[in-house]
Structure 1
Amino acid sequence: MHVRARRLRPVVTATLAAITTAVLAACSGPAQATEERFQIDVATPLASLDPADACSLEDLGLLSDLYPTLVRYQDDPASPTGARTLRTDAVEPALAQSWTTSPDGRTYTFRLREARFPSGNPVTADVVRWSWQRTLDSGGCGSNFVTGGARSEIESVAVRGEREIAVTLTSPTPDYLLALTSVGAAVLDRDLVLEHAGTDVAEQSRWIATNFAGGGPYTVDAYAPGTSLDLSANPAWWGAPPLESRVRVSFITNDATLLLRARGGRADVTLGLSKQSVRSLDGEAGVRIVDTPSAAWQVVGLPTELAPFDDPLFREALTYATPQEQILRDVAHGYGQAYYGPFSPTFPAYREELSRPRPHDPAKARELVARAGVRGPVDLDVYVRDGIEDQIQIATILQQAWKDVGVNLRIRTLSAAEYQNAVGNEHKRWAVLRHDGPSVVTPGWVTSYDTACGHPYNPSNYCNPRLDALAAAARTEPSAVARQADWDRITRLWTADSPRVVAYAENYTAVLDDDVTDFVRGQNNLEIARWGTRR
């Protein structure tokens, strides 16, 4: 493997240099432990090692190199060398070496390649079936990927020999193959799980949450929840070997520490830096910034089941009370874009003329509050995830701005597990500030949960049956023109209902040390096995 001689880069003053050196030494631990692994610093700790429970883009991405999936996204040939991206609309074989689709679009038959888990246990069609059933039984986010969407269902799963499996859906599901790229639909080492956790699904989930049962390009050497994840190349991996045979992922929720380590050359890759910190590194020697538009956003889901947030007039008032341009300037720092609507600018269904951002207009906001009949102050908790500094900055700006319309916003920072539970609560009594984006970048996928009545991962518990009916029709509409007309109707309905506040559409950013020559990422796949240096 490549072992980089890490170095502290010069800083402005001797005092700052001393502080920087002390902080880096405290965070990195023994020098030998740091130098022998490719170092990845991440702001957001994992909620769990269980792919069935992974809900955020951060968690899905970090687990994607640990568990195999039947298919994967293709490389985007238009992306730049050294910072490649994956397509979001085309898949290629992975654990499944080939597949066929029935004429009615409901049955997919997969032929598996010969593969084994690190334990030596074989990957068989029956293991795939068991893995998917366990995910469905667990009820976590992974269920959506196994079925091909939150509104899709499996009619049957038939094992047709050791390496052939056929899945029949209750109706054609255009996003099905795209969904199977996610680690939420991963294949687990069944015999290893049964050996350590037995047949009880709850006990299995508890064990997998902190133990490795995968078979991706990396295996887990050690996992300290909230602190670090050590990986080694999987000797049983059937694909191309990882560029770096040993990797350490360090979870560092303090943005200042993350920045110091990136600037000082202590991390090969840094993920989750605040946009302000990323901007401060722009043009600095020794680092390279990856900056690409993505299907992700920072939004505030409002508790639409809780008065007075159940009134669209009051929710609309908060959108006009939100200084979006200030948030873009002071938080996004050029790595974001303003809009207002259910689809961000990267979506094919996005229409600029229907999704223009709402101006900051405190007078109009107060007028709407008065029309809603709201008197006196309104208290509201807003939850942010530990390690996402941008969310705290956004919440702080909103806290000041919303005072003008009588909303006392209380900021609550939650751990990864607490935050995941709050986001998935079916009846939220709080606001959720969420860095979000669909794992499958289609309007059909995002409307299957993000705007759907009764879905726990609808960030606002928002419900408009007319919108749901339009979304269901659009997902199976063969005509592109008619389908876009439905998405436009949905945009108008959603915008009129104002179920959430949009901070901005967010660019994906990562900071790479200048030694890093290879970097690949997708919407919900980090492809860490393809990160490294060839020098």
Structure 2
Amino acid sequence: MKTDISRRSFLGLGAAAGAATLLGACGDGTVPGAAGGGTLKWGWALTTSWDPVTSSAGWDVHVLSLVYAGLTKLDERGDAVPALATGWKYNADGTEVAFTLRPGLKFSDGTPLDATAVKKSLERGRDLPKSLVGPQLVNVAAVEAPDGGTVVIKLKAPDFQIPNLLAGKTGMIVSPKAFESDAAALATQPVGAGPFTLTAYTQNAKAVFARNPDYWDAASIKLQHFEAYPLPEAATVVAALQSGQYDVAQIPGSQVEAAKAAGLQVQVIPSLVVAVLDVNITKKPFDDPKVAEALRYAVDRAALLKTAQFGHGDVAYQPFPKNYVGYAPALDGIYAYNPGKARQLLAESSYQGAPVDVVITTAAAAGVPEQLQSQLQAVGFKPTIEVIPQAQATQLVYVQHAKALFVDQFAGRDSAVQAFQVLFGKEGLMNPGRQQPPELADALAVVSRTPLDSPDYAKVLQEATSVAVRSMPNVFLYSVPRILARRPNVSAIPEFTVVQRFEGVTVA
């Protein structure tokens, strides 16, 4: 019993680009009697859609978490803890879990957030034809609301990952009144029960929020107002922070020293984001296992990390960061840079020197494609660089399966099994070859059947990580920490591994 204790394609939002949307609960956002915490201006990113069911980027979860809440949330370590629910209890075999809701919950439109509302919201995520979270809910056989304060989720097969899964986009609870009256409007006008309410929105430019006094943990939210902006340009982000255009902004590793020299505070926060080469083993030359293996040893990860992030982060051989429960220490150095071995494997393979396209997007880190091209060429590959638009990457690489080798980043997921499904599942978005060995499916089944608080959980999850890394073609490169620079008048930002949160933050 639990007690109180991340895609890259972009969907049209149904509104003209650049059009401003004003929402009903505007006002000045001042909450009578609330402790003043100022306005925080965040240079980060804006969401592909304000509807979590149709949001198409894993990265969206950070901004969506400002306006939505789930039954659970993840703490700094990535463990599920209560949110809208005060706790949960599984049956003995893990096929049913009952959540107890906090009393008196309300959505930002004033309607009650009770068990029936949760039931309708989760069913919409599972059943809506255009839902992008539906694949994560296929194991949900039924959602029941036996009374106003209890939600029972019945599963087709044992799955103790549900509390983690529901902490992210998949479990964000949307007002039924909103999606039953005008679901399309949710793309620009969210109605949730998060710490803030969206009061104004200019697509691709700015989102303005006011503190939500009805949020279940409103006492921890000190900021009266919040503003989110698209990611600042690397060359101007420090100056923009100095000028007050932003109070907090994500910065690249190349700007860390400049930010410190300018008197800004810098936090390097471990995250679930990892740079990775996605390999389609159904396309030549990677349909030959020796070619795919040669690729693992041909890459100098430390050199790429230095180029991409000025050394901020760690060399990676797996999808999870150090100190995360799924991180398997046994994999450290498993495919360490070994150009001699790469050349030998390539010589033993069927590869005859055909060109290999290193596919990147317009958002690729400067210098990395050229460096990767040089590394592959040094062991006998004939690499060329192909640049595709960022907005077309998902369609070309993961829907049409048209590319053999893609330089990408994986934003992580709230549930470890969900991350495995995205990366390695037969229908996984980031598994362009759509193949999965039986031993990996078996390992993941064991993880799903193991309770999160079991003493065996870390062991079985790390074993699944080892099976995945050894049997799947993905080439993990380096971890990508969340680097935030802030003005001196902003208090420290909480360091959450999965989703960035702002409890306790103030602006003097």
TM-score range, shorter chain: 0.7 to 0.9
Cα distance in structure 2, aligned partners of 1:100 and 1:503: 39
Report the counterpart of residue 247 of structure 2 in structure 1: 268
**2:318 aligned with 1:317:** no
The residue type paired with residue 235 of structure 2 is: A
Higher mean alpha-carbon deviation, 118-127 vs 524-533, is at 524-533
Q: Secondary structure at the match of 1:350?
A: coil
Go from structure 1 to structure 2 and tell me whether the alpha carbon gap of 1:285 and 1:342 turns closer, same or farther (over 3 Å shift). Answer: closer
Report the counterpart of residue 519 of structure 1 in structure 2: 493
**2:239 aligned with 1:249:** no
- Corresponding residue pairs, total: 464
Go from structure 1 to structure 2 and tell me whether the alpha carbon gap of 1:519 and 1:465 turns closer, same or farther (over 3 Å shift). Answer: same
Go from structure 1 to structure 2 and tell me whether the alpha carbon gap of 1:67 and 1:45 turns closer, same or farther (over 3 Å shift). Answer: closer
Question: Could you tell me how far 1:67 is from its partner in structure 2?
Answer: 0.9
What does 1:437-452 correspond to in 2, within 5 Å?
Answer: 437-440=411-414, 442=416, 444-452=417-425
Within the candidate set 158, 168, 176, 2:154 is matched to: 168
For structure 1, the residue ranges without an aligned partner over 5 or more in a row are 1-35, 75-85, 198-203
Cα distance in structure 1, aligned partners of 2:402 and 2:441: 20
Cα distance in structure 1, aligned partners of 2:433 and 2:254: 28
**2:189 aligned with 1:211:** yes
Report the counterpart of residue 464 of structure 1 in structure 2: 437
Q: Secondary structure at the match of 1:399?
A: helix
Cα distance in structure 1, aligned partners of 2:222 and 2:341: 56
For each residue in 1:146-167, what CA deviation from the matched residue of structure 2 results, as whole angstroms up to 9, or x when unmatched? x3xxxx6112211213333211
Report the counterpart of residue 21 of structure 1 in structure 2: none
Q: Secondary structure at the match of 1:380?
A: strand
Tell me the TM-score normalized by structure 1.
0.77
Question: Could you tell me how far 1:377 is from its partner in structure 2?
Answer: 3.2
Name the structure with the higher helix share: 1
The residue type paired with residue 182 of structure 2 is: H
Go from structure 1 to structure 2 and tell me whether the alpha carbon gap of 1:346 and 1:141 turns closer, same or farther (over 3 Å shift). Answer: farther
Cα distance in structure 2, aligned partners of 1:508 and 1:210: 26
Go from structure 1 to structure 2 and tell me whether the alpha carbon gap of 1:394 and 1:115 turns closer, same or farther (over 3 Å shift). Answer: same
Higher mean alpha-carbon deviation, 456-465 vs 174-183, is at 456-465
Report the counterpart of residue 47 of structure 2 in structure 1: 46
Cα distance in structure 2, aligned partners of 1:486 and 1:218: 35
Report the counterpart of residue 388 of structure 2 in structure 1: 412
For structure 2, the residue ranges without an aligned partner over 5 or more in a row are 1-37
Cα distance in structure 2, aligned partners of 1:163 and 1:486: 33
Within the candidate set 133, 146, 154, 1:142 is matched to: 133
Question: Could you tell me how far 1:180 is from its partner in structure 2?
Answer: 1.6
Go from structure 1 to structure 2 and tell me whether the alpha carbon gap of 1:263 and 1:385 turns closer, same or farther (over 3 Å shift). Answer: farther
Within the candidate set 447, 461, 484, 1:510 is matched to: 484
Report the counterpart of residue 268 of structure 2 in structure 1: 291
Report the counterpart of residue 22 of structure 1 in structure 2: none
Question: Could you tell me how far 1:183 is from its partner in structure 2?
Answer: 3.1
**2:389 aligned with 1:398:** no
Go from structure 1 to structure 2 and tell me whether the alpha carbon gap of 1:531 and 1:481 turns closer, same or farther (over 3 Å shift). Answer: closer
What does 1:115-514 correspond to in 2, within 5 Å?
Answer: 115-138=105-128, 140-143=131-134, 147=137, 153-197=139-183, 204=184, 207-240=185-218, 242-252=221-231, 254-271=233-250, 273-281=251-259, 283-341=260-318, 343-356=320-333, 358-380=335-357, 382-384=359-361, 386=363, 390=365, 392-404=366-378, 405-415=381-391, 418-419=392-393, 421=395, 425=399, 427=401, 429-440=403-414, 442=416, 444-458=417-431, 461-476=434-449, 484=459, 487-488=462-463, 491=466, 494-495=469-470, 497=471, 499-514=473-488
Q: Secondary structure at the match of 1:446?
A: helix
Report the counterpart of residue 106 of structure 1 in structure 2: 95
What does 1:6-155 correspond to in 2, within 5 Å?
Answer: 37-42=39-44, 44-54=45-55, 56-74=57-75, 86-92=76-82, 94-112=83-101, 113-138=103-128, 140-143=131-134, 147=137, 153-155=139-141
Cα distance in structure 2, aligned partners of 1:510 and 1:295: 15
Question: Could you tell me how far 1:406 is from its partner in structure 2?
Answer: 0.6
Cα distance in structure 2, aligned partners of 1:316 and 1:464: 16
Cα distance in structure 1, aligned partners of 2:121 and 2:360: 32
- Maintained 8 Å contact 2:96/2:153: yes
Q: Secondary structure at the match of 1:220?
A: strand
Report the counterpart of residue 532 of structure 1 in structure 2: 506
For each residue in 1:211-263, what CA deviation from the matched residue of structure 2 results, as whole angstroms up to 9, or x when unmatched? 22223121112222322211122244343153222222110353213233135
Tell me the TM-score normalized by structure 2.
0.81
- Maintained 8 Å contact 1:297/1:506: yes
Q: Secondary structure at the match of 1:327?
A: helix
For each residue in 1:279-326, what CA deviation from the matched residue of structure 2 results, as whole angstroms up to 9, or x when unmatched? 442x42531111233333111111222121222211222223222121
Go from structure 1 to structure 2 and tell me whether the alpha carbon gap of 1:350 and 1:116 turns closer, same or farther (over 3 Å shift). Answer: closer
Go from structure 1 to structure 2 and tell me whether the alpha carbon gap of 1:104 and 1:477 turns closer, same or farther (over 3 Å shift). Answer: closer
Question: Could you tell me how far 1:474 is from its partner in structure 2?
Answer: 4.2
Question: Could you tell me how far 1:60 is from its partner in structure 2?
Answer: 0.7
Cα distance in structure 2, aligned partners of 1:300 and 1:319: 9
- Maintained 8 Å contact 1:384/1:413: yes
Question: Could you tell me how far 1:338 is from its partner in structure 2?
Answer: 1.6
Higher mean alpha-carbon deviation, 220-229 vs 233-242, is at 233-242
Higher mean alpha-carbon deviation, 185-194 vs 104-113, is at 104-113
Cα distance in structure 2, aligned partners of 1:244 and 1:209: 25
Question: Could you tell me how far 1:401 is from its partner in structure 2?
Answer: 2.8
- Maintained 8 Å contact 1:474/1:486: yes
Cα distance in structure 2, aligned partners of 1:462 and 1:299: 18
Higher mean alpha-carbon deviation, 395-404 vs 153-162, is at 395-404
Question: Could you tell me how far 1:65 is from its partner in structure 2?
Answer: 1.4
Cα distance in structure 1, aligned partners of 2:68 and 2:290: 46
Question: Could you tell me how far 1:39 is from its partner in structure 2?
Answer: 0.9
Report the counterpart of residue 7 of structure 1 in structure 2: none
Question: Could you tell me how far 1:189 is from its partner in structure 2?
Answer: 1.5
Across the aligned residues of Structure 1 and Structure 2, the Cα RMSD in angstroms comes to 3.0
Go from structure 1 to structure 2 and tell me whether the alpha carbon gap of 1:407 and 1:184 turns closer, same or farther (over 3 Å shift). Answer: same
Cα distance in structure 2, aligned partners of 1:73 and 1:332: 27
Calculate percent identity across the aligned residue pairs. 21
Question: Could you tell me how far 1:376 is from its partner in structure 2?
Answer: 3.3
Cα distance in structure 1, aligned partners of 2:308 and 2:158: 42
Go from structure 1 to structure 2 and tell me whether the alpha carbon gap of 1:87 and 1:170 turns closer, same or farther (over 3 Å shift). Answer: same
Go from structure 1 to structure 2 and tell me whether the alpha carbon gap of 1:60 and 1:348 turns closer, same or farther (over 3 Å shift). Answer: same
Question: Could you tell me how far 1:414 is from its partner in structure 2?
Answer: 0.7
- Maintained 8 Å contact 1:338/1:357: no
Go from structure 1 to structure 2 and tell me whether the alpha carbon gap of 1:235 and 1:342 turns closer, same or farther (over 3 Å shift). Answer: closer
Go from structure 1 to structure 2 and tell me whether the alpha carbon gap of 1:256 and 1:106 turns closer, same or farther (over 3 Å shift). Answer: same
Report the counterpart of residue 18 of structure 1 in structure 2: none
The residue type paired with residue 494 of structure 1 is: V
Report the counterpart of residue 29 of structure 1 in structure 2: none
Question: Could you tell me how far 1:336 is from its partner in structure 2?
Answer: 1.4
Higher mean alpha-carbon deviation, 392-401 vs 292-301, is at 392-401
